[in-house]
Structure 1
Amino acid sequence: MKAVMALTGLVMIGFLLMHMYGNLKAFLGAEAFDHYAHWLKTDILYPLVPQGSFIWLFRAFLLLCIVAHMYAAAVLTGRAHAARSSKYVTTDRIQQTYSARTMRWGGVLIAGFLVFHLLQFTVQVVTPGFTPGISAYQMVVLSFQQWWLVLAYAIWIVAVCMHVRHGVWSALTTLGAHTSPGARRFLDGLAWVIAVLLFVGFMIMPVAVLLGWIS
């Protein structure tokens, strides 16, 4: 279960990095952003796979990873509760990082906002600031002109980055990378770098839209 959780977690971190890269294309203008969105939904890996098929295969794979990750988390949590006769004592909680202590509720928050994110930009039934059917660039710009949505997005990204901060270290440790004190320091630094990179990379575009730098 730990290996399943580690591998699926790393897959999702890889997806977040790719998603962040795509979001940053908004700084190149509407044409570049819409071209990238079109390529993702229709042309990626064509003609190796039928046009428009890859995005659905990828979504199915990502959904499978999310379900497996959540299932592994639930199983491991159940085993942890069953293995101890009392709650963690205060000293144990102090030894843990805040990110580690908040992994469970953070995961629930991430899952909830992910549903909202899909309903907004993919299904387009939640449409703050825009009407369904417009271009991807217009959807993004009109959405993040709403200050409350940028704030909600920031809270979600903080939860994601806290989850990633502990998840990178935990996953690589599970897979055998934690071999020495030096390796531990490296993994801890790598986890922080990825978490900070994701926070800056995901937030810079919505803030730029809100401030009028992207319009």
Structure 2
Amino acid sequence: MSAAMRTRPSLFATAVGKKYAMAISGLVLMGYVLLHMVGNLKIYFGAESLNKYAEWLREIGEPALPREWLLWGLRFVLLAAVFVHIYAAYSLTVMNRRARPVQYVSKRDYVAADFASRTMRWTGIIVVLFVVWHLLDLTWGTTNPDFVSGDVYHNVIASFERIPVAIAYVIANLALGVHLYHGAWSLFQSMGWYGTWRRTFSIAFAGVVVLGNVSFPLAVMFGVVN
């Protein structure tokens, strides 16, 4: 092996590699949030429909695999995607700061920057905190005093009947929408997929996910679902 090959950095060690990692992990997470939202729409068909869907998720892969094995496999894939996404974002931030230790101070540059791009770090933090709360609230029931194991419909209603919790879900999903919009737009750029459709797709994708997710707490708050 030549000295040049020994000293050549791995793809992930480069900015391009980190952007690829963010894009691919972002695709995985985008697919999840869309499917998660679509599945939760079953709440509008009643308790039996939503609870059957939740039970079906636990049974995926049977009888070839033991109960919940495939579900846990998918969870580990999602956890890995989250870790890669956060680590790549952090690494890129560090690289950018080292390459440009003095921040631009031009007001014109700040105003010209897209709002979503300027708030990606903060919307990302909000989304991570929201996911932790979501798990504690509706998956493990730690923060939901009326939690009933296995009764997803009941747990959703019990959670969103608490007005502060419902409002927090709405705010968190608005932050998710901003993050998804810029993330989707940047993803195509990182992968080299250019076209005027990028912005349209990003707006539509983020809009569909946010509208679906926000509808759940609002439906409970206003008595549409009870």
2:44 aligned residue: 27
Asked if 1:161 corresponds to 2:172, the answer is no
| Aligned counterpart in structure 1 of residue 132 of structure 2, from 100, 110, 115 | 115
> Residue in 2 aligned with 1:98?
115
1:131 deviates by 3.2
- Find the aligned partners of 1:94 and 1:139 in 2 and give their Cα distance: 43
Provide structure 2 residue ranges, at least 5 long, that are not aligned to the other structure.
1-17
Q: Hey, what does 1:141 align to over in structure 2?
A: 157
Q: Distance in 1 between matches of 2:70 and 2:203?
A: 32
Q: Describe the superposition over 1:95-118 as per-residue Cα deviations: whole angstroms up to 9, x where unpaired.
A: 221011000111111111111111
Number of positions where the alignment pairs a residue of Structure 1 with one of Structure 2: 208
Verify: 1:203 aligned to 2:203, yes or no: no
SS in 1 for 2:219: helix
- What TM-score comes out, normalization by structure 2 length? 0.89
Higher relative contact order (CA 8 A, sep 6+): 1
Aligned residue number for residue 192 of structure 1: 203
2:60 and 2:150 map into 1 onto residues whose CA distance is 21
CA distance in 1 between counterparts of 2:114 and 2:144 reads 37
Task: Please give the root-mean-square deviation of Cα atoms over the aligned residues, in Å.
Answer: 1.2
Q: Choose from 49, 57, 71 the match for 1:40.
A: 57
**2:86 is matched with which residue: 52, 70, 73?**
70
- Where 1:34 maps in the other structure, the secondary structure is helix
Deviates more, 1:47-56 or 1:197-206: 47-56
Report what 1:170 is aligned to: 186
CA distance in structure 1 between the partners assigned to 2:65 and 2:120 by the alignment: 37
Contact 2:137/2:159, CA 8 A, preserved across alignment = no
CA–CA separation in structure 2 for the residues paired with 1:6 and 1:88: 26
How many Å apart are 1:172 and its aligned residue? Answer: 1.0
Q: Which amino acid aligns with 1:195?
A: A
CA distance in structure 1 between the aligned counterparts of 2:206 and 2:152, rounded to whole angstroms: 26
Identical pairs, percent: 35
Deviation at 1:134, TM superposition (A): 5.5
SS in 1 for 2:174: helix
Structure 1: gaps of 5 or more residues: none
AA aligned opposite 1:52: E
Structure 2 Cα separation of the partners of residues 15 and 134 of structure 1: 21
TM-score norm. by structure 1 comes to 0.93
**What SS does the aligned partner of 1:49 have?**
coil
Q: 2:71 — aligned with what?
A: 55
